[in-house]
Chain A
Amino acid sequence: MNKFEKELAAVIKKLDSVKFLFDDKDFEKILAEAAAPAQDAIKAEAPQSNKSHLMADGGGSYKRVKPGNLKRSVQIFKAKGHKNRSVLVGPIVSKKSKVKSVEGAKRVSRARRAFYWKFMHYGTARIPATRFMDKARSRAAGAVMLKLKAGVKKYARKEVQKIFE
């Protein structure tokens, strides 16, 4: 666990201990706002082809996608059926992905998907690895932390005020 991950774990632990101060929607908004810099960083680091290409789309069918499809597939979402309040950022991989939209973030679209992100990230036998997710994580770490802390202050104040209304 690196320095950022330790710091993030500490903030999440603190957040978890005061989650009763927030309603579900506000809690999601905090996480969504904090996830935005991570989404921007992944989009910036994701490789882009020069021309449109075919993408395997299940059942032996192929779909033609425009350059930048991988960047567009990077979205903010939450896992369907999970009770823990967490938000994920990354490429949507399938039209059957069990994900839901997050309050405060753009609605999730499974039409924008790129199952092949891992082949770009780890490379293939013929394509060098880009490790764009790792680069994005390093790039966005500071901003995510700031947004997370700012979001907590912003929404907690409202909630505390509500108690004394």
Chain B
Amino acid sequence: MRADIVIYNLLKDTSNIFPFVIPQATAITDGNVYMTYSVVETDSVTTKTSFNDYDRTTVQLSFFSASLDAAMVKADAVRLLIDRYSAILTVATVEYDVDFISFVSQDFVGYDEDNEVYMIAADYQISIAPVYIFEQVVPCGTTSSATLGKTIKVEDFPLLWLQGNSGGGYYGSYSADTFLISGTGCVFGGGVNDYDSITSIDLRNNSLTTDFTNTLLSKFKNLEVLTLSTNNIDVLDISNTLSIACKSPPF
């Protein structure tokens, strides 16, 4: 997992941050704080109930400044920003499921006479779930993993139901708001990016009785066109689906 990308993107807007070293062309004695980041080590996390669902990476952040106070203030500000951080971070269409960032230690390394700056080094541990591709086989119990060989609720994995089966959908195994994917193990049922990429859904003439609940539709944040004609649908809740346009009732 690319913990370096996560750290860089979390800090790049508020910091002068570089990988490993600060380029020679950058003057660092102007009183501003300059930072570097480097990955120290990456360990897998295996527990009784999961097998390597997360990677735990130790990242060193270094703070350099001609002003010791500025370096310390910046180190505290960074800690405030990223310690206990947990979210899905999207960088260039790739999702990074950051489970947790935790502060480990901070050392005042000293005054570097060669470069005439004070230096502080801080270690952070970052747990990130692996990046999965839609319908890829994944360990069960991970984020958005759908179990094969067992009935799956449509509202839990609507994208899999619509676009799984290599784009053909799983209407064939559909029954009373559930569907079934044959096999064993689990597959990835889609992430935020996969859902965000959907702008229109055309389900006309499929004999569906699915409840299109708020849970189901609110996953598609960019959905603009939903065509449901010639089905037997009783429930259609678009209260939280802001971008949708209702064109031709009744269904």
In the complex, residue of chain A having the shortest beta-carbon distance to the beta carbon of B110: A118
Stretch from A17-25, A31-39, A68-76, A122-130 contacting the other chain: A122-130
Given contacts A123-B20, A134-B40, A134-B41, contact A129 B60 (CB under 8 A): yes
- The answer to whether A123 and B62 touch across the interface, beta carbons within 8 angstroms, is yes
Note all chain B residues with C-beta closer than 8 A to A123.
20-21, 36, 38, 60, 62, 121
A131 interfacial by beta-carbon distance below 8 Å: yes
A4 interfacial by beta-carbon distance below 8 Å: no
Instruction: Kindly identify which residue among B22, B28, B41, B112 contacts A119, using a CB–CB cutoff of 8 Å.
Output: B112
In the complex, residue of chain B having the shortest beta-carbon distance to the beta carbon of A126: B21
A56 interfacial by beta-carbon distance below 8 Å: yes
- The answer to whether A125 and B38 touch across the interface, beta carbons within 8 angstroms, is no
| Complex Cα–Cα for A118 and B109 (A) | 7
Note all chain B residues with C-beta closer than 8 A to A134.
40-41
- The answer to whether A125 and B21 touch across the interface, beta carbons within 8 angstroms, is yes
- The answer to whether B107 and A125 touch across the interface, beta carbons within 8 angstroms, is no
B157 interfacial by beta-carbon distance below 8 Å: no
Chain A interfacial residues counted at CB < 8 A: 13
B34 interfacial by beta-carbon distance below 8 Å: yes
* A125, chain B: closest CB distance, angstroms: 5
- The answer to whether A125 and B41 touch across the interface, beta carbons within 8 angstroms, is no
B24 interfacial by beta-carbon distance below 8 Å: yes
| Complex Cα–Cα for A112 and B62 (A) | 28
Interface flags, B90-114, vs A, CB<8A=1, else 0: 0000000000000000010110111
In the complex, residue of chain B having the shortest beta-carbon distance to the beta carbon of A138: B41
- The answer to whether A122 and B62 touch across the interface, beta carbons within 8 angstroms, is yes
* B106, chain A: closest CB distance, angstroms: 11
| Complex Cα–Cα for A131 and B58 (A) | 11
B115 interfacial by beta-carbon distance below 8 Å: yes
| Complex Cα–Cα for A127 and B64 (A) | 12
- The answer to whether B28 and A122 touch across the interface, beta carbons within 8 angstroms, is no
CB neighbors of A among B32-91 (8 A): 34, 36, 38, 40-41, 60, 62, 64
* A1, chain B: closest CB distance, angstroms: 11
- The answer to whether A122 and B113 touch across the interface, beta carbons within 8 angstroms, is no
Interface flags, A100-120, vs B, CB<8A=1, else 0: 000000000000000000110
| Complex Cα–Cα for A131 and B107 (A) | 13
Note all chain A residues with C-beta closer than 8 A to B113.
56
| Complex Cα–Cα for A128 and B37 (A) | 9
- The answer to whether A129 and B64 touch across the interface, beta carbons within 8 angstroms, is no
12 contacts between A and B (CB under 8 A): A56-B113, A118-B109, A123-B20, A123-B36, A123-B60, A124-B119, A125-B119, A126-B21, A127-B21, A129-B121, A131-B40, A134-B41
A residues bordering B, Cβ < 8 Å?
56, 118-119, 122-129, 131, 134
Given contacts A125-B34, A125-B117, A131-B40, 19 further A-B contacts (CB under 8 A): A122-B60, A122-B109, A122-B119, A123-B20, A123-B21, A123-B121, A124-B64, A124-B114, A125-B22, A125-B36, A125-B62, A126-B114, A127-B21, A128-B20, A129-B20, A129-B38, A129-B62, A131-B41, A134-B40
